[in-house]
Amino acid sequence: MYTLAKPTTSFLEAISNPSELKRLTTQQIQSLAGEIREEIVANLSKTGGHLASNLGIVEITLALHKVFNSPEDQILWDVGHQCYVHKMLTGRRNQFDTLRQYKGLSGFINPLESPHDAFVAGHSSTSISLAVGMAIARDHLGKENKVIAVIGDGGLTGGMALEAINHLGHIQRNVLIVLNDNEMSISQNVGGFSQYMKRIKETFFYKDIKSKLDLIEDKLDSAKITPAVWEMILAVKKQAKERFDTPGIVFEKLGVNYSGPVDGHDVSAVIAAFESVKDKTTPQLLHIISQKGKGWGPAEKDAIKYHGVSAFSLEPPLSEKVEPAFAPKPKAKTYSDVFSQALIELAALEPNMVAITPATAEGSGLVKFGHKWPERFFDVAICEQHAVTMAAGMAKAGLKPVVSIYSTFLQRAIDQVIHDVAILKLPVIFGIDRGGLVEDGETHQGVFDIAIMRAIPNLVVCAPKDARELRNILYTALKESSAPVAVRFPRDKAVDAEGIEGFETINFRCWEIVEPGETVEPGNKSSPATNEFKEVIVLAYGAMVNTAVQALPLLKQKGVRPTIVNARSTKPLDTEMLAKFLANPDAVLITLEEGVLTGGFGSAVLEFASQQKVIHLGKKQADVYNVAIPDHFVEHGAREILLDLVGLSSSKVAEFILHVVG
């Protein structure tokens, strides 16, 4: 790995409030920037987190707090994962080693942590809309504070940000947009707008022309010229401005004044730029150029790899290459790995299959697919709505699109799933990654997709129990389904991924919950010792099958041997199987799912049980109990801790079953 000097904190130790930056000189602030970078790398080596983006925004954050007055001036951080420097400067540095840990600091902006966090932030492209809303409220209430939206060029590709700029230009409120341009989101930015921003950085000719025109205008102020001549001079200036490739002309045409570009790592230049727009009363966009990963060699060389990191060791580099004494253990495959490899192989079987992702190619593993099938891979940037509707257009025209999308980001495109995909029953496959709990907290928990998707007509909604089943569900959906199919899987190591080579077909359809051979673990109807317990049937959905299996030893110690069923589909249900289970009044049915309790898989089973009661009036049926995520937002922390917290660890599942039957 790479060496890192022990963090020095001569200036950082003295900063407990952002107002203290105002007494520091520019040179001292530049030294402080170096200390902050050391602190970020040292801490993230222990906690993990978003590394490259925070290294790139150090000087911008320092300049913001030097010029403006937080929390009176409201700073809105788009996405929010670039907030680590802001947290250090606003009284949370002593908690920084708890970042992303359970009951520690959030990895994102959270007003519950500090009044300096103006709004919760976890998804992109929201900051300008929030700024417009807060500016309107400020003006209505007669206040005079500044509202500042800090957004990256990746976030600016999102339609919501462009909608907000359009409205801001119309209503002309006092809002400052700070565009942190590093040509990156999670992956490399794509799209026409990204290319336009790149051209801005390469176009300094206009700045020279504009400065000369301004100089001429200043000199003419004292000259005695007729109004007609003055009007002609202004017209020439306007024409000159419009004919050159003006940096920011798109923003100016929309009514937002543009300034920049500014070197984002030159503290004095950034401070001067903020001072120049601080007292403006019209909408301003300040374009700042930064480097993602700035100041730490590995992240500068590979900003994508170091966008988000797990805890790592800062070991000194070896002076010479040393062969390991034994072969290193291969890295465990995740469900994302299995998903992307399956798509690569399926593309060879189905020439009309294409893959789409909204700027999550790295996280979902689709980079490999793009290398293998570049003409069939589409990264549409941070545009979830466009990704889904584009897939609908592809499907209507004869292609077979697979949309790879995180569960938490799919929430942004539910209208498109309903309106553009489901109504026409188009065969779009949704590969829903990060389904379930993740470390990043409330804004990123993928717990709503089961309930949302199963409420939509014409959709098949399923989840695999292991790696092989994920592959085969994708195969079945691609080859046999004429309807849209949602396949969800967790951010976790894939169960039974070892030894999967090539593609093996298992003939089942993903809309059948279980075939007779899909009982994972047969159970007894009662305890062989005391005959006290009812028959227990656990209907486990997706990743919860493995959890149920892991709970077996604890249950068997108490004489309870449940039947575990792999309920791979929540819509449609295997109603024939469920009817048989419910018909046994001595049985207990327990559903397990890593999604919200309200409206999820367990609710689907209860709804069917209610229908069966109507059909068989007066006939007693099995009891049904649901284990799922309670009706509250789940905080950040390690996945294992969160699963236990909501009652979905193997030990908590075993406790629940024993309580129900005991």
Q: Which residue has the tokens 């900063």?
A: 15
Q: How far apart (Å, rounded) are the C-alpha atoms in residues 60 and 126?
A: 19
How far apart (Å, rounded) are the C-alpha atoms in residues 129 and 78? 10
Residues 6+ apart with CB under 8 A from 199: 245
Q: Is 412 a catalytic residue?
A: yes
Unique residue bearing structure tokens 């004292």: 222
Peptide bond into 227 cis (omega under 30): no
Give the up-direction half-sphere exposure of residue 187: CA atoms within 13 A in the CB hemisphere.
Answer: 18
Q: How many CB atoms lie within 10 A of CB 69?
A: 12
Burial grade of 278 (CB within 10 A; 0-12, 13-18, 19 or more): middle
CA angle 420, 421, 423 (to 5 degrees): 80
Burial class of residue 3 (count of CB atoms within 10 Å of its CB; 0-12, 13-18, 19+): exposed
- Compute the half-sphere exposure of residue 3: CA atoms within 13 Å on the CB side of its CA: 5
- The strand pairing partners of 627, in sequence order, are 592
Phi-psi region of 280 (alpha: psi -120 to 50; beta: other; left: phi over 0): beta
Strand partners, 178: 150, 286
DSSP 18: G
Please tell me the distance from the alpha carbon of residue 648 to that of residue 654, in angstroms, as a whole number: 9
Tokens of 449: 């997709």
Are 206 and 247 in contact by the 8 Å Cβ rule? The answer is yes
Quick check: helix, strand or coil at residue 537? strand
Residue 374, burial from CB neighbour count under 10 angstroms (0-12, 13-18, 19+):
exposed
User: Largest Cα–Cα distance of the chain, in whole Å?
Assistant: 110
Is residue 64 packed enough to be buried (19+ CB in 10 Å), middle (13-18) or exposed (0-12)? buried
**Length of the chain, in residues:** 662
Q: Token digits for 161?
A: 């940000």
DSSP H helices, 488-593, are: 544-557, 575-582
DSSP structure class, residue 419 = I
For residues 407 and 393, give the distance between their C-alpha atoms in angstroms, rounded to a whole number: 22
Record the tokens describing residue 529, joined without a space. 């010792």
The terminus-to-terminus CA distance of the chain in angstroms comes to 54
Query: In a 3-state reduction of DSSP, which class is residue 599?
Result: coil
Element (H, E) at 409: helix 407-410
Q: How far apart are CA 422 and CA 20, in angstroms?
A: 56
User: Which is catalytic among the residues 35, 39, 59, 384?
Assistant: 384
Which two structure tokens, joined as six digits, stand for 277? 């727009």
Among 100, 400, 412, 471, the active-site one is 412
Q: Is 292 a catalytic residue?
A: yes
Check residue 439 and report its DSSP letter.
T
Residue positions annotated with a catalytic role: 292, 384, 412
